[in-house]
Amino acid sequence: MRTINTEFYGDDSRWFIGVVSQIGDVRNLGRVRVRIFGIHNENTTKVKPSDLPWASVVVPVTQGGVSGSTMPDGIQVGAQVYGIFLDGKHSQSPLILGSIPHDSGLRVINDEPDDAYAVPRNSQTEPNTRIGDLITQLEVERLLEVGQPAPKVGTKIDEQQADALDYNTSGSGTLDLKLIGASRQEQAFNYLKSYFETRGNIGDPGSCAAAFVGNFIHESGHTLDPKARPPVEPAVGLAQWNSRQPELKAFANTIPGSSYLNFSVQLAFVVYELENKQSNRTYARLVNSSTIVEYTEVVMALYEAPSTAYNYHKESSFIRNYSLHARRGGVRGVMRRSSRQSSALLKYSAAFEKRLTSAKEVSKKYGDS
């Protein structure tokens, strides 16, 4: 039998009075941002408007009560409101019960001391993550259900726990890629092919797109899981971004309401990288390639750089001298010419052939070639 979480049961509720700072909820749930007396300093340099919490609003039962149908039209910026915290003393889930007519000259106290239970979340992680929030008993039970270790109630949610609770997968926010396809593989292929066609300087856009998807399959699985994480390395996503993961997160933070663990966001980030830091390293080599064999190795060696490529690079410096490596026929050319093949070369070659097989399967299934 489940234990009822009393923090959401009314036994330990807290009420508040505050002033509406922002309307226009990006989730279309009718929420508003509220600056709460006694918690949020009026000084906007100390507590920015974008750092204030989104508060849900009680509406009549005649309204839909679901995203897109809940519009508390009466509440305006500057309105004084009264409500309760649904999560009790943690004070992270405000619910507005009504508004209070007031003198517009009423001010929030400037130097109110910090409330230990109600620290506003950073705007860069709202609304797509709850990292740093305090764990409730209900969340402990949910973590146990999905095979995660049980943390103590009141400790802060970390990134792994947020992933397990699906707090990091709110969606693509304002990003609208209009992906076409019945599977992530097909969607990724069509999106990247269209991108390469638009650029106009890739010899075979379909084969190039297939090369990326074929590599992604060996990074994040056949489902191209945007939440995929290896058991040891701190990598994540379609391409298993490791050292470049902070850049992925920073990119997602530029898209209101999005998550770096969202499939569309990660596809858009691939394009972003190819047009920025990966422009000279990867994209320039793609322009100088023409076959699916060449595209696949460029993506593997220069964009993905898995451990097999890195280990072979340590003995051959082939990544640093990739132009020469390509002119000599890539890894297949090396294998043909080498009378003595090192363990690193053999492992790199074997890994490449597997990725090439996947790329060809993707091309055959979704492409024209």
As a whole number of angstroms, the distance between CA 249 and CA 260 comes to 5
State the average pLDDT over residues 223-246. Answer: 89
Specify the pLDDT at position 114: 44
Contact 302, 323 (CB under 8 A): no
Q: Phi/psi class of residue 113: alpha, beta or left (left: φ > 0; alpha: ψ in -120 to 50)?
A: beta
SS3 of 245, please?
helix
Confidence bin at 356 (pLDDT 50/70/90): very high
Among 110-119, 269-278, 284-293, where is mean pLDDT lowest? 110-119
| CA 31 to mean position of chain CA atoms | 22
pLDDT tens digits along 10-63? 666 788 899 888 877 666 677 888 988 878 766 655 677 777 888 888 887 666
Specify the pLDDT at position 120: 41
Burial class (CB in 10 A: 0-12, 13-18, 19+), 25: buried
Contact 298, 309 (CB under 8 A): no
Task: Find tokens 């597997």 and name the residue.
Answer: 354
SS3 of 146, please?
coil
Name residue 122's amino acid: N
Which of the pair, 107 or 299, is modelled with greater confidence?
299
State the average pLDDT over residues 263-287. Answer: 94
Among 31-40, 67-76, 103-112, 266-275, where is mean pLDDT lowest? 103-112
Q: Which are the contacts of 137, defined by CB distance < 8 A and separation ≥ 6?
A: 3, 5, 7, 153
Specify the pLDDT at position 119: 40
| Number of other residues whose CB lies within 10 A of the CB of residue 362 | 26
Residue 140 to residues 37, 136, 164, 208, Cα–Cα distance (Å): 31, 6, 11, 45
pLDDT tens digits along 184-232? 999 999 999 999 999 999 999 999 999 999 999 999 999 998 988 887 7
State the average pLDDT over residues 106-119. Answer: 42
**Domains in the chain, CATH or no CATH each:** 6-122 (2.40.50.260), 128-168 (no CATH), 184-366 (1.10.530.10)
Contact 239, 220 (CB under 8 A): yes
As a whole number of angstroms, the distance between CA 222 and CA 219 comes to 9
Specify the pLDDT at position 323: 93
SS3 of 235, please?
coil
State the average pLDDT over residues 78-100. Answer: 84
Task: Find tokens 């941002």 and name the residue.
Answer: 33
As a whole number of angstroms, the distance between CA 188 and CA 279 comes to 19
314 pLDDT higher than 50:
yes
pLDDT tens digits along 158-173? 767 766 665 544 467 7
Question: CA gyration radius for the chain?
Answer: 26
Among 4-8, 45-49, 118-122, 325-329, where is mean pLDDT lowest? 118-122
Please compute, for residue 264, the number of CA atoms within 13 A of its CA located in the half-sphere on the CB side.
17
Task: Indicate the pTM of the whole model.
Answer: 0.58
As a whole number of angstroms, the distance between CA 133 and CA 306 comes to 35
Specify the pLDDT at position 138: 72
Which of the pair, 287 or 136, is modelled with greater confidence?
287
| CA 54 to mean position of chain CA atoms | 20
Secondary element (H or E) of residue 34: strand 32-36
2 pLDDT higher than 70:
no
Among 129-133, 137-141, 338-342, where is mean pLDDT lowest? 129-133
Confidence bin at 67 (pLDDT 50/70/90): low
State the average pLDDT over residues 85-96. Answer: 80
